[in-house]
Structure 1
Amino acid sequence: MNTLPLYISLVFGITLLASIFLFYKAAHSSKIVLTILISWIIIQSIVSITGFYASENTLPPRFAFLLMPPLLLILLLFISKKGKLFIDGLDLKWLTLLHIIRIPVELVLLWLFMNKGIPELMTFEGRNFDIISGISAPIVYYFAFLKEQKNIRLLLAWNFICLALVINIAINAVLSLPTKFQQFAFDQPNLALLHFPFTLLPSVLVPIVVFSHLASVRQLLCNKKAI
């Protein structure tokens, strides 16, 4: 992959820090949560810098090691008693505001496409409509939390729609990787997400976004006093 302009990595790094801060606030400033996040970022950064994920056509695809550990952790949280208690104790307001980070993420993806790092289908000029989630997050926050009448139905609908949007781009991104399972973008595959620091998008940012939606939905469905 060609050398990228420095501003792309800088904006991505700031976005990553913002996501950590917002989730840290949602977890009521839990030092355990912060430690887990930072440790996972350090581990994935070191592995990425070695070029481990840049190896193509391996079985199983090495990209799976970016996604599977956080997804398994999310599953564990939802099936364990302590995990459910943790989820139900998260601050729904911060979980909603957190999705603002999807605006700079979409800008980074656009810049990566312009520098031949990812295919166009992964941007809002292609099949990725996830920027809608980021733009709508403060609007939904206002109508759901700052108005006199709390709007649980609005929050539920918004979380389901935005969860579908992030899953959509995640599937397209995985199927655009230069692996044996590639289905899209053969002329310009998804290369950037196999290199540091952008490996932290699928390994950190996407799991945080997905978990925030799932946790919000659980609170809204199981706890009528969630907001």
Structure 2
Amino acid sequence: MSPKLDYLHVQIPALLSVCFALLVILLVAGIYFTIRRVAPKQAAFTLIGCILWLGLLYFAAQKTFFLDIAATPPRFLIAVIPPLLFIVMVFGQAKGRQWMDRLSLRSLTWVHILRIGVELLLFKLFVAGQIPQVMTFEGRNWDIWAGLTAPLMIFMVFYQKKWSAKVLGWWNIGALGLLINIVTTAVLAAPFPFQQLSFEQPNVAVLKPSFIWLPGFVVPVVLFAHLISIRRLWVNTRPDHEPS
């Protein structure tokens, strides 16, 4: 079955793009200040790297580079493979693991509150015909629960200290599962040769500015935060002993 591509070349409503851009700016700021607390020089380089990467993705999407869905392999991979390779590189190096172990678990948990705003914008994208309903909280996407429960985890683990690191660890595993679920759904609903879902209203928003930043930046950051936290908690790092 061929996907219905009525909205492929229709611009995303400007307000939605601006709101998402603001969320990404907040995320970049959070990354910078989290890293600056433990590695000021690395924080500056990270900030520059984030800005350059986001700018490159935006420029390519603005030039409709990712809208060529007939390209082989899919051009979309150019947006997602570099961040994933960066994560693998950091985990694969001893210095990278030492750097990760110094980051604040509390800050890494705060990152996930961003998912509330993302999910609300996804629903608006569905209304605008840019993504299918299955990618929203009215469909198969329950990722908003990770964002809604993140403040509870922060309060109970780091401030009240009534919940243990084990609870935070299981929460990260569960929230990671929610992330994997929506990413899988989004990929299978995109108008690529392997599409399996939502042919009547495929996922085209992530091929356009500024929502190309969702798979190319936001999702990798959220994934990275989960993986760092799970690794830290796996080796029994106590949240109440990490930097405030």
Classify the TM-score, shorter chain.
over 0.9
The TM-score normalised by the length of structure 1 is 0.96
Range moving further from structure 2, 33-42 or 205-214: 33-42
For 1:170, the aligned partner's letter is V
The TM-score normalised by the length of structure 2 is 0.89
Equivalent of 2:17 in 2, 9, 31: 9
Which residue of 2 is the match for residue 159 of structure 1? 172
Structure 1 position 174, deviation (Å): 0.8
For 2:11, the aligned partner's letter is T
Which residue of 2 is the match for residue 23 of structure 1? 31
For 2:20, the aligned partner's letter is F
Range moving further from structure 2, 198-207 or 147-156: 147-156
Over 6 Å off, 4+ runs: none
What do you get for the CA RMSD once the two structures are aligned?
A: 1.3
**Contact kept in structure 2, 1:22 and 1:98, CA below 8 Å:** yes
Which residue of 1 is the match for residue 90 of structure 2? 77
Report % sequence identity: 37
Structure 1 position 36, deviation (Å): 1.4
The unaligned stretches of length 5 or more in structure 1 are none
For 1:59, the aligned partner's letter is T
The unaligned stretches of length 5 or more in structure 2 are 1-6, 38-42
**Contact kept in structure 2, 1:28 and 1:91, CA below 8 Å:** no
Range moving further from structure 2, 183-192 or 85-94: 85-94
1:176 aligns with 2:189: yes
For 1:196, the aligned partner's letter is P
Structure 1 position 150, deviation (Å): 5.5
1:109 aligns with 2:122: yes
SS in 2 for 1:27: helix
Range moving further from structure 2, 144-153 or 115-124: 144-153
Structure 1 position 226, deviation (Å): 4.6
Structure 1 position 82, deviation (Å): 1.5
Which residue of 2 is the match for residue 194 of structure 1? 207
Structure 1 position 18, deviation (Å): 1.2
Q: Distance in 2 between matches of 1:22 and 1:132?
A: 21
